[in-house]
Amino acid sequence: MATSVEMGIVATGTAFGERRGVAGTAAEYVPDPEVVGTLGYETYHRVAGGVTATDLAAEAARSALAEAELDIVDIDLIVVGHSDIPEYLGWDSSAAVARALGAYGTPTVLLTQVCAAWSVALDHAAGAMALSADTDTVLVALVNVASEAHTNRMDFNGAIASDGAVAAVLRRGHPRLRRLSSAHFTNPEYADFFRVEFGGSAAPLPPEGRADLHADPMAGIFRHFGRDPERFQVFMKEISGRIADVVDQALTRAGKGRTQLSRLIYLNDNQQTIREAAEAVGLPIERTNAALARELGHMGAADQLICLRRHLKAGEVSPGDLVALVGVAAPGMHWFCTLIEV
């Protein structure tokens, strides 16, 4: 059943780190650059020294507000999603973004559900509108800045981490880019996959001679499955199978069917994984964000809305088109889909 709150995207804005070529920089991150080359990425973005995730999120938010011809005082709620290591522990970056924008008194919410934060953010905005009649305009900002002190951006999860942010102004009753429905699935068995081992309260400091950068998250996954290749293959099949499940659930809730889908926007993963996601829902890879992923890199929770903006600007989606924004997030492990009617 579709939500009773009709909410559309009025405007979006983006901000990126400096663009870098994969071929020319891979040797800075991995001993065998050719392996990274097989992922299919051509470029990615890396912030300059001193530029923070808060800076990037605020820049994207200012751009979205300008495109919407609004000021921060016109915003009823600010929702920030941050998908990488925060700048500080015990700190609320949503309030920091609000301060950077000059807001005062506007409620803020921080979402840290890694790459799923964008879908949860849209759900939260819709829920806030449903609960409060005076919440009409919401600013959502999603940001990813890879902490190179904690993870290797080219050797962590099969993607190349990239630094970028996107912001969207959402308004009750807006007739374009309407959020129709969403669906989420969580398998908590995989809650420890891709976690950063050291720095939290369980392990504040690494043992001597070890560091987060020395950890191999894929080795941890193989250990979880007892190093059994058959169990690992079952897990890999579950990834694509759950994608189809959440897409179908979101479609059912919106009263739609797969044949009505115009485009799938997946996270900016490697080319093979995007191809598998497209096959899972019966779309050709040409009707995905695969080409954009090659040049953008994986920007965490910002991927889907950045790509939606780029597809719109390029005229690759038209009014009335049905677009499935889809992703997988770990730790979690979460599968999620949000349907947007252009």
Pairing mode, if any, of strands 261-265 and 322-329? Answer: parallel
pTM of the full structure: 0.95
- Using only C-alpha atoms, what is the Rg of the chain? 19
Order of strands across the sheet that contains 7-16:
108-111, 77-82, 137-144, 164-172, 7-16, 178-186, 334-341, 322-329, 261-265
Residue 1 has a pLDDT of: 40
Domains and CATH numbers, the chain: 7-175 (3.40.47.10), 181-341 (3.40.47.10)
What is the residue type of 182? Answer: S
What is the residue type of 200? Answer: G
Give the closest residue to 168 by CA, choosing from 133, 104, 131, 125.
125
Please state, in angstroms and rounded to a whole number, the distance separating the CA atoms of residues 83 and 247.
22
Residue 4 has a pLDDT of: 61
Sequence-ordered list of residues with C-beta below 8 angstroms from that of 241, at least 6 positions apart, any chain? 280
Residue 197 has a pLDDT of: 86
Three-class SS state of 221: helix
Give the closest residue to 184 by CA, choosing from 259, 270, 265, 118.
118
* pLDDT by residue, tens only, the chain of 342 residues: 444 689 999 999 999 999 999 999 999 999 999 999 999 999 999 999 999 999 999 999 999 999 999 999 999 999 999 999 999 999 999 999 999 999 999 999 999 989 999 999 999 999 999 999 999 999 999 999 999 999 999 998 889 999 999 999 999 999 999 999 999 999 999 999 988 888 899 999 988 888 877 777 778 888 899 988 899 888 888 988 999 999 999 999 999 999 999 999 999 999 999 999 999 999 999 999 999 999 999 999 999 999 999 999 999 999 999 999 999 998 889 999 999 999
